[in-house]
C-alpha cells in the first residue's frame, strides 16, 4: 500500500525543474517586452507605461530601412532555397548509387559547419571574385546556407510518402515531369510551408553570415542592432524586438492553421518542425 501511494505522489521535482526551465527561457524575453513600454530610458528601472519608444522607432528611418532590408533578404532567400533545396531533394531521392549517397551526405555539411567559417569563406569568395558586398551578397550567402535545411525537411517528407505514389501517377497517364508537378509537389506542400517558415525565421535574424557579407547600406537588422548597442542600447531596440516577437508568434499560429485550412486533418507544418504527429 505504502509503495502504491508513493508512486501516485505528484512529481514535485519535475514540476519545479519545468517551471525553472520556462522561467529561464521566457523571463528575459518578457523583460524586453515590458521595457519596450517603459517611460524612462533606463533598462533597469521601470517608470510607468508609455509608447514613446514605438514612436521613436517609427521615426528612426535607419532602423526601419534595416527592418525592410532584413524582410527582403529573408523573403528572397526563402524562395531561392526552397526552389534549389526541393530540386536537390527530388534529385537525391532518385539517386541510389553510392556516389549519390555521398553527395547526399555532403549537402548536410552546412548544418554542422560553424557559421563563422561559412561567413569568412563567403566573404573571401565574394571579394576574391570581385563582387561588391551588398544585399545581393547577403542573399547569396543565406541561400547557400539554407538549402541544407530545405533539403533535410523535404527529404524527410519524401521518405514518408511511399515511393509508389509517383509511379501511381505515371501509371495513370502522367509523364515523369507531370508526375512531379501534379502529384509529388502538391503532396510536399506541408513540408514546403514548414521549411519556408523555418528558413525565413533563421535568415531573418541571422547575424554571423549577414555581418560578414553585408555592404554598408542598408544593413540587415541584426547587424544594425548590434552596431547600435555599441553606443548604448536605445529602448527602441526593445520596441522592435517586441514587434518581431509578435510577428513570429503570428507566424507560428499561421504555421499551425494555414495547412489545416486546405488539408483538413493533414499533418501541419508545425508538426513537421517539432517532429510530432509522424504519419
Partner 1 sequence: MSTPSVSLRGLTKDFAGATVVDHLDLDIARGEFFSLLGPSGCGKTTTLRMIAGFSDPTSGTILVDGEDVTCTPPHKRDVNTVFQSYALFEHLDVRGNVGFGLRRKGLDRRTIDARVSEMLELVELGDRHKERPNRLSGGQRQRVALARALINQPKVLLLDEPLAALDLKLRHAMQAELKAIQREVGITFLFVTHDQDEALSMSDRVAIMNDGVIEQCGAPEDVYERPSSVFAAGFIGTSNLMSGTWTAGCVSVADLSIPVPGHQGSAEGDAVSVTVRPEKIWLSELTPQMFRVSGTIVATSYHGATTQYVVSIGPDLSLTVLEQNLPQMRADDRWHAGDRVEVGWLPEHTVVLT
Binding site for partner 1 (CB under 8 A): 161-162, 164-165, 167-175, 178, 183, 186-187, 189, 263-266, 279
Instruction: For residue 71, give the H/E element and its range.
Output: helix 61-94
Between 55 and 171, CB nearer to partner 1: 171
Indicate the residue among 231 and 262 with the shorter CB distance to partner 1: 262
The distance of Cα 74 from the centroid of its chain, to the nearest Å, equals 9
Give 241 or 266: the residue with its C-beta nearer to partner 1: 266
Write down the least CB distance from residue 263 to partner 1, Å.
7
CB 221 within 8 A of CB 22: no
Distances from the Cα of 48 to the Cαs of 36, 41, 59, in angstroms? Answer: 11, 11, 22
Q: In the numeric block, which cell numbers belong to residue 15?
A: 514540476
Q: Which is nearer to partner 1, 108 or 180 (CB)?
A: 180
Q: Which among 241, 244, 202 has a CA at the least distance from the CA of 31?
A: 241
In the DSSP assignment, the letter for residue 38 is B
Q: Which is nearer to partner 1, 45 or 177 (CB)?
A: 177
| Nearest distance in Å: CB 100, partner 1 | 16
Phi–psi pair at 38, nearest 5 degrees? -70, 140
Give the integer Cα–Cα distance in Å for 28 and 209: 25
Q: How far is the CB of 278 from partner 1 (least distance, A)?
A: 13
Q: Which residues pair with 38 in a beta bridge?
A: 49
To partner 1, the closest distance from the beta carbon of 279 in angstroms equals 7
Closest approach, Cβ 88 to partner 1, in A, equals 22
Residues shown for the chain: 279
Query: What are residue 162's phi and psi, to 5 degrees?
Result: -60, 140
Query: CB 233 → partner 1: shortest distance, Å?
Result: 48
**Nearer Cβ to partner 1 (55/167):** 167
Amino acid at each position: 500500500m505504502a509503495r502504491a501511494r508513493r508512486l501516485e505522489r505528484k512529481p514535485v521535482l519535475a514540476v519545479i525543474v519545468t517551471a525553472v526551465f520556462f522561467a529561464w527561457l521566457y523571463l528575459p524575453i518578457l523583460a524586453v517586452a515590458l521595457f519596450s513600454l517603459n517611460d524612462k530610458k533606463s533598462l533597469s528601472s521601470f517608470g510607468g507605461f508609455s509608447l514613446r519608444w514605438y514612436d521613436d522607432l517609427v521615426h528612426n528611418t535607419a532602423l526601419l530601412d534595416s527592418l525592410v532590408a532584413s524582410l527582403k533578404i529573408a523573403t528572397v532567400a526563402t524562395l531561392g532555397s526552397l526552389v534549389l533545396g526541393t530540386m536537390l531533394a527530388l534529385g537525391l531521392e532518385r539517386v541510389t548509387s553510392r556516389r549519390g549517397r555521398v553527395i547526399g551526405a555532403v549537402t548536410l555539411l552546412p548544418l554542422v559547419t560553424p557559421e563563422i567559417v561559412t561567413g569568412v569563406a563567403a566573404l573571401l569568395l565574394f571579394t576574391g571574385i570581385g563582387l561588391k558586398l551588398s544585399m545581393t551578397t547577403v542573399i547569396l550567402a543565406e541561400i547557400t546556407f539554407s538549402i541544407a535545411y530545405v533539403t533535410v525537411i523535404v527529404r524527410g517528407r519524401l521518405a514518408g510518402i511511399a515511393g509508389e505514389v509517383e509511379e501511381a501517377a505515371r501509371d495513370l497517364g502522367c509523364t515523369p515531369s507531370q508526375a512531379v508537378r501534379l502529384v509529388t509537389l502538391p503532396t510536399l506542400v506541408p513540408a514546403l510551408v514548414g521549411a519556408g517558415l523555418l528558413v525565413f525565421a533563421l535568415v531573418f535574424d541571422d547575424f554571423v553570415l549577414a555581418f560578414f557579407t553585408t555592404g554598408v547600406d542598408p544593413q540587415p537588422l541584426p547587424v544594425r542592432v548590434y552596431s547600435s548597442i555599441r553606443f548604448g542600447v536605445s529602448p527602441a531596440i526593445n520596441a522592435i524586438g517586441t514587434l518581431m516577437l509578435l510577428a513570429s508568434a503570428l507566424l507560428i499560429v499561421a504555421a499551425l492553421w494555414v495547412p489545416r485550412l486546405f488539408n483538413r486533418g493533414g499533418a501541419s507544418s508545425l508538426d513537421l518542425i517539432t517532429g510530432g504527429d509522424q504519419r
